[in-house]
Chain A
Amino acid sequence: MKLSFRDQFTNSLFALPAALLFAVFSIYPFYKVFQLSLYQWDGISTAMRFVGFANFWDILTRNAAWWISFKNAIYITFLALTVQNALALLLAWAVDREIRAGNIYRVIFFIPPILSGIVVGLIWNWIFEGNYGLLNHALTSMGLGGWTRAWLADPKTALYSVATIHMWKGFGWGFIILLAGLQNIPRELYESARVDGAGEWHVFRKITVPLMVPVFVLVSILTILGTMQIFDLIISTTGGGPGYNTEVPMTRMVALMLGSGRLGYACAMSVIFGILLLLFSLVQMRLGKWLDKD
């Protein structure tokens, strides 16, 4: 079907405000980031040294810390994609079924995202604390005293502990989007399926899941983005330590930019990081389309 020029013109008017804003406030800064990634520059001095792709080459081949941080972020992301989103879906599904009684839950489940990072940091630091922590206290009183440890400082548990806090703080986002998605499914579909004698699980698998695929894709991509760019939480709990055990890409970038005065190098990192994330997201979307067609 071919569109008339007039149609194309009026259609594009809808996207014009977004395109304009985007062109001014996104394109230029991103062009700048890419440009700076080709320089050796501390962000202050007047002298910039053009180094071509040397920054990229160094990151890709020699910067072990960067790849450790990337691996850590992927680890947390994997946990968030599975555990956090499964929890979000379970809760959204439970609330969706009984939307009347669900109202109070709907408010409660969104408390963690609302809370300031400072409060979250204080609370969880206290829970995971080594000597007087709540978790250790609970374990000891259950007779599991041998399990106690400084959860955030032990290389065996630090990353998991951080991931737990992150998932707790983040499941509310997924919950609310999934709930909106579930609410968009016409009730009639459920009712007619139930009339046909289908069980709960059957309805969920045959009706809910297929209709929700695009929303799953949306939530997955937002989870990937939100988790890969995790930063504040790390700073307020472990600072990336012990050693490199909880370093993530954002902590590396900020350390290089503000700590070591290597802005150009940090920009190269954000370009690489952005490209990798974009690739992930494209794979996710392809996967979603493929599932949707099935």
Chain B
Amino acid sequence: MKKVLSLSFCLALASVFSILPACKKASQSGAAEDSLVVWHWMSDREDAFNNLAKKYGEQKGMKVRFELYAPSEAYMQKVRAAAQTNTLPEIYGVLGESRDFASFVNAGHVENLTPAMSENNNQWMNRFFQKALVNNQFPEGNSYNVPAGIYGVPLDVTNIQMLYNKDLFKQAGLDPERPPQTWDEFLKIGPALKKAGIPGFVSGWGELWMIDCLASNLAFNLMGEEKVLKTLKGEVPYTDPEWKRLFKLFEEFRDSGLPAAGLVTMVNKTAEQNFSSGRAAMAFNGSWCVNVYAGMNPNLNYGAFLPPAVSDKNPRVIWGGAGSSFVVNARAAQKDKAVAFLKWLSDKDQQVALAKETRNLPSTPDAIGEIPAVLGQFADDMELTTHPSRFPVSEASSVVETFNKGIQSILIGEKTAEQVSNEVQKVKEIEMKSAQK
């Protein structure tokens, strides 16, 4: 033991000396004259990014370094900490809700890209899917007091829909080419699947936002956009009959026997494992799933459909927009060069390369070439998408949480629709009171 200790001590001394030189060459993340640094969290695109960086270096003689910080929670902390010390790189991505995005803009960390986007008759802007810019944009008179403009460059687009396993549908005696269109048709599938012994519906509803997503899709369809927004503003209570009807839908959903066991605490990755291995007949998932399922079960025979209609008064909408985006650091000395790089990144060649490597939907229509049929279905429905960040008002996070957790409780029979609607309204009133202060 003594020997071990003295040996370790010597080694420790040696290592301290070996560290010291490293301290001297410590550099802040801000890069040198002719190079750009990009921070991102997208592990699965690391190789694609590095290839593009190399290509850019060869074409324009500018060095670009992509630095990966994952998982996204770690990335969020890193970006926030760097913002406090003004050590953000030239290009990075803001993860979080539009409220966080707005804070970054207001704190002067994000460059307004509208001038660059609208140069030469909106040349850059027009290249994107219109919906891809939606969650990178703050409209005139937004509730966060951000000057109107476009602040981010989308890399890809995504939207969230229903999926069904055609083989399991056939097995249960259902028409594999006709997924349910209305809520009643949807509910009727429950008993059919149950009879065949097939678990029904999976999704990542342990991660609350995916519940919120379906619920808000249904709400838009049920009462229309205007009324939903009025509710967010506090002009319509969550105890309104139509909101009660919305919560009731989840009671019906529960009673139909559709939810697979464990749905309410399921992580989306588990839901994906279950659906791709034929252990569930339906799923609610984003367009990225095409890629995930292809990896886990290339023979999976499935299709996508819009969330079933609960009313014919209003159009059906789904959540969608840019999947991931980059912003330019407004404080960076080289921000013009950063803008130039992002412009280059949204050129067709680069978008095609990214889409090919990652099999995501590209953010520019001209890059949509040969993609799988199901992914095509997702692409076609981009026009139906909406996104909370597009709304002029936003709901307080405590209300959203009560809302989503309430639906979890309905699904496990812990609470009734009536109870949840009252609880949500109670929290909403508290939030409105404290906002007045």
Residues of A at the B interface (CB closer than 8 Å) are 42-46, 62, 65, 125, 128-132, 149-150, 152-155, 158, 236-239, 241-244, 246, 254-255, 258-261
Contact = CB atoms under 8 A, between A and B. Distances in A.
A158 B106 CA distance: 42
Interface in B55-85: 73, 76-77, 80, 83
Given A239-B208, A242-B414, A153 B264 contact: yes
Contacts of A43: 80
Given A239-B206, A242-B264, A242-B409, A44 B107 contact: yes
B279 A243 contact: no
Contacts of B207: 239
A258 to B, nearest CB: 6
B262 interface: yes
Interface size class of B (residues with CB under 8 A): 35 or more
Contacts of B398: 260
B260 A42 contact: no
B96 A258 contact: yes
Interface stretch (B24-32, B245-253, B265-273, B309-317): B265-273
Nearest to A58: B434
B199 interface: yes
Nearest to B94: A44
Interface stretch (B97-105, B229-237, B333-341, B356-364): B97-105
Contacts of A44: 80, 83, 100, 103-104, 107
Given A42-B100, A44-B83, A45-B106, A241 B260 contact: no
A149 B265 CA distance: 13
A209 to B, nearest CB: 29
Contact of A149 (B107, B261, B270): B261
A294 B265 CA distance: 48
B263 interface: yes
A282 B351 CA distance: 60
B409 A153 contact: no
B397 interface: yes
Contacts of B406: 243
Contacts of B263: 150, 153
Nearest to A148: B261
B73 A243 contact: no
Contact of A131 (B103, B199, B267): B199
B401 A130 contact: no
Nearest to B202: A131
